[in-house]
Amino acid sequence: MEIPSYFIDFLKEIRLTDNQVSELKKGHELLRKRLNDYEPLSPIIVSTFLQGSYRRSTAVRPKGDARSDVDVIVVTKLSQDEYTPRAALDVFVPFLEKYYAGKYRIQGRSIGISLSYVDLDIVPTSAPSESEIGILESSSVRTDETIEDAEDWVLKKSWLALDQRSFSKMAALNETIRAEAEWKLSPLYIPDCEVERWTPTHPLEQLQKTRDKNKECNKHFVNVVKALKWWRRLNPEPKHPKSYPLEHFIWTCCPDGINSVAEGVTKTLETIVNDYSEKPVLPDHGVPEHNVFARVTDEEYDDFYQLVCDAAKIARKALDADDVADSANAWRELFGSKFPAPPDNGNGKNCAAIGGFTPRKENTVLGGNRFA
């Protein structure tokens, strides 16, 4: 059974909390303001924008004492011909020493900043083409609103963030937006110290593909991703795939037109079982020469595939169950204790099994069109 009310409560338990979102915003907004105001750096900074699972609405709640994290792309005017990857990262060291001394570390392709309440990643890029600078400075790029916050987000000149809109002018603005073609940008290049060269990435294309897939899946796709990321967290071995590679694989396998998270989870797992018994090559969005699964070993994929086979059987059992209690208990077998348990009526029988509803101690709140 799909038992959507149970999935609504489950997703509430695995999403970032309001406090965690507030901490993310506090951390990245302060970082971006400091970057723009720091005089030695401001002349070389074209734009800053968010990438990653938070921006795509696919982030899940950190485990235990782990902090939430957010990636900040910093589009610079640095030339690939003049700066090696390491030299490009070193450009930020004086800034980091001033504002984040003892809290940062230079990584292979970014700079990590660990604060008491959030982890930040600065991901600098080399200079974009002159024709794309104006685009990268636009509201549609710089907004920090997620796919679920702003469902009408498009990469267009006239698009405005929610707090920049005037109600009286929205009808005319919507007409203008509809008439515009969506921008097609080139990949950005980030410094990769491991291979000692600048390598392409396309976070905005990833965001567009996630937005489109979510629409094609009746707004359930991002929640299918969150659910399966949580399942993966409960099954941490093998180490790979996880994070974005896992999300991209779900994007590949989740069928369009799903009507619930339960259906999406089940059919995604079954697609992997039926179509991907061997490790696939997964071209990245916007950078097709990049195989998202490049770091996944054959042995890791074989172990992961067996994990998926077991999970697919449980999900199918839960989806096909005729009894709400049986279904909920099977979903709990897959997703753990964060998935609501069916209540007992005191006579050894489930109220849910009898009536088909889960008694609530408090009202379920549907926020941000996050349907289950």
Q: Distance between CA 295 and CA 6 in Å, rounded?
A: 36
Q: How many CB atoms lie within 10 A of CB 178?
A: 10
Specify the amino acid at residue 99.
Y
Select which of 18, 71, 81, 298 is catalytic: 71
Cβ neighbours of residue 270 closer than 8 Å, sequence gap 6 or more: 312, 315, 316
> Does residue 71 carry a catalytic annotation?
yes
Question: By the 8 A CB rule, do 273 and 308 touch?
Answer: yes
> Does residue 326 carry a catalytic annotation?
no
Q: Three-state DSSP class for 65?
A: coil
Nearest to 204 by CA among 253, 248, 150, 140: 140
DSSP assignment of 136-163, as one string? Answer: HTSHHHH----TTT-TT--S-TT---GG
Nearest to 199 by CA among 184, 215, 208, 188: 188
Select which of 18, 69, 284, 323 is catalytic: 69
Specify the amino acid at residue 347.
N
> Does residue 320 carry a catalytic annotation?
no
Question: By the 8 A CB rule, do 319 and 224 touch?
Answer: no
Q: Distance between CA 236 and CA 215 in Å, rounded?
A: 30
Select which of 18, 119, 121, 303 is catalytic: 121
Q: Where are the alpha helices (DSSP H) in 257-323?
A: 261-275, 298-320
176: region left, alpha or beta (phi > 0 left; psi from -120 to 50 alpha): alpha
Question: By the 8 A CB rule, do 201 and 129 touch?
Answer: no
Specify the amino acid at residue 137.
E
Nearest to 7 by CA among 338, 314, 302, 304: 338
Q: Distance between CA 242 and CA 248 in Å, rounded?
A: 10
Q: What residues act catalytically?
A: 69, 71, 121
